[in-house]
Amino acid sequence: MHEIYCCAFSPFDLKCSLASMTAGARLLRVSAMAFFLTFLCVGCAKNAPQSAPAVPAPEVMVFDFQTRTMPEYLEVTGRINSVFVVDIRSRVGGYLSKIFFRDGQFVRKGDPLYEIDPRPSLAKLAESKGTVEKLLGERRFAEIQITRYEKLISKGAASQQELDAFRAKLEENTGSLTSARAQQEFNQLNLDFCTIVSPIDGQVSRTQFQIGNLINQDQTTLTTVVSIDPIFVYFNVDEPNLVRVLKTTRSTSPSNGIFTGQLFIDVGLVDDLERAYPHRCVVDFLNNQLDTQTATITMRGRLDNPHDPNPDHPKPPLFRSGMFARVRLPLGQPAQRLLVPETAIASNQDRKILWVVDTENVASTREVLVGQKVGTWITVQPTDPGKPFGTSDRVVVRGLQRCREGKPVTPKLASAEIVLLNTLPIGEAAIPDDTRPDDP
């Protein structure tokens, strides 16, 4: 038997070995060699690489850029305050005897609110009236005596000294009578002050004291009355934006000042989450100086606040003193603005970016500067003015996390309900795509 060695050899060695063997041995040797080479080729062969299945592009929702002709706004916070806020105090001291209103009632100017026990004031008034009557009697007696002594002196029956004494008493009586009448008027006022009335039209708060309590003069606050209609909204504007407002109004308003009924602001309350600012009013006050500590100035708008106090069909006022308010103040003339849904804005550290899909459905990021909000939309402009948005570019509004720079996506057009298109200003026509602005 011949042993088969798995070793390397040259063709010359194989030829020599085959020549020296018998025919059977050569056949056996060749068969073994063929089997070995076949096994070696199979064991060393590599599997052919298989192609990976194609991964579909991620699906995202996109929407077209929107353009509107609109002014630039400054959005600030403010507070609503009543025009009049009156603390009701008693102008006389005494015990509280009557309450004429219900807590929270709407009142008119002159309506009675409280009554302080009037009996002490009535007694003092009656006393002062008696003093006046007494002095009037003394005056009449002095006048009669003066007339009598003047006749007696002409006949030589009386001295001049006696006449002068009665004239002095008349002058003294004149002064005493003036003082007594003033005291009578004062006591009459105190009696009138026993009935406390509302000094303004408005709404009364709850009473702080009940019947029977001792009320101190000019010290005890019984309740508070605030005016309802109209009502003020106060807000502060920083110095740079104030200069912009002044420049704009100086170029569009008469020369006698800024507040000529031409500057309007839009106001929203705490429930105005979509920043619709449904209430409009005119600015009627600008403070005469800036606060040097905050570099801001106070402005004020005058809001209508209608209400109906009729108990059969009451209509309460919408605005109440102390409410939080959002104020939108125009800063310039209307211009073309580029808007996207607020959900399309992404952040990259301290930068704001948009994912934009081009005509080849390739996603890429664009750094932008954001401006004012309009409903659920926001104005944007590219940080690089030399690279404006393309006329066919679309912005990704859903699926931002699926986008990769330079990678294809499968865009699906979002519906108007998804992007809340109805929150954009109504009645302002969109600008054609080929004239998109570069600034918000």
357/415 same-domain check: yes
276/292 same-domain check: yes
Q: Residue 267 is part of a domain; what is its CATH number? A: 2.40.30.170
389/305 same-domain check: no
**Average pLDDT of the residues in 118-128:** 93
Classify each residue of 119-128 as buried b or exposed e, where b means 16 or more C-beta atoms within 10 Å of its C-beta: ebbeebbeeb
416/347 same-domain check: yes
275/245 same-domain check: yes
- In this structure, is residue 264 part of a structural domain? yes
Out of 330, 358, 378, pick the residue that ends a domain.
330
* Measured distance CA(175)–CA(192) in Å, rounded: 26
303/267 same-domain check: yes
The per-residue pLDDT for 103 is 93
- In this structure, is residue 232 part of a structural domain? yes
Domain residue limits at 276? 74-82+227-330
* Beta carbons within 10 angstroms of residue 25's beta carbon: 14
The per-residue pLDDT for 7 is 44
Q: What is the average pLDDT score of the chain?
A: 82
| Total domains in the fold of the chain | 3
Helix, strand, or coil here: 434?
helix
Cα dihedral across residues 175, 176, 177, 179: positive or negative: positive
Burial-class residue 183 by CB neighbours within 10 Å (0-12, 13-18, 19+): middle
Question: What is the per-residue pLDDT across 256-301, written as a single tens digit (0 to 9) for each?
Answer: 444 444 688 999 999 888 778 889 999 999 999 999 999 999 999 9
295/240 same-domain check: yes
- In this structure, is residue 395 part of a structural domain? yes
Helix, strand, or coil here: 324?
strand
- In this structure, is residue 414 part of a structural domain? yes
19 sits in which H/E element: helix 11-20
Contact 61, 397 (CB under 8 A): yes
Burial-class residue 20 by CB neighbours within 10 Å (0-12, 13-18, 19+): exposed
Q: Is the pLDDT of residue 20 over 60?
A: no
Helix, strand, or coil here: 123?
helix
* Measured distance CA(86)–CA(408) in Å, rounded: 68
Q: Which amino acid is at 407?
A: K
Q: Which residue has the higher pLDDT, 433 or 297?
A: 297
Out of 330, 359, 383, pick the residue that ends a domain.
330
- In this structure, is residue 368 part of a structural domain? yes
The residue with tokens 């109440």 is 320
Structure tokens at 365: 């990021």
The per-residue pLDDT for 52 is 57
Structure tokens at 41: 């080729």
300/241 same-domain check: yes
429/341 same-domain check: yes
- In this structure, is residue 239 part of a structural domain? yes
| Measured CA distances, 247 to 242, 337, 373, 422 (Å) | 9, 21, 23, 33
The per-residue pLDDT for 112 is 96
The per-residue pLDDT for 275 is 77
* Measured distance CA(109)–CA(200) in Å, rounded: 4
**pLDDT level of residue 425 (50, 70, 90 thresholds):** low
258/344 same-domain check: no
Q: Residue 370 is part of a domain; what is its CATH number? A: 2.40.420.20
Q: Is the pLDDT of residue 78 over 70?
A: yes
The per-residue pLDDT for 36 is 56
Question: What is the per-residue pLDDT across 379-402, written as a single tens digit (0 to 9) for each?
Answer: 888 888 888 888 888 999 998 898
Out of 330, 352, 367, pick the residue that ends a domain.
330
343/423 same-domain check: yes
The per-residue pLDDT for 16 is 47
Which range, 71-75, 152-156, 253-257, 285-289, is most confident? 285-289
Question: What is the per-residue pLDDT across 36-53, written as a single tens digit (0 to 9) for each?
Answer: 555 555 455 455 555 556
Helix, strand, or coil here: 199?
coil
Structure tokens at 33: 């060699």
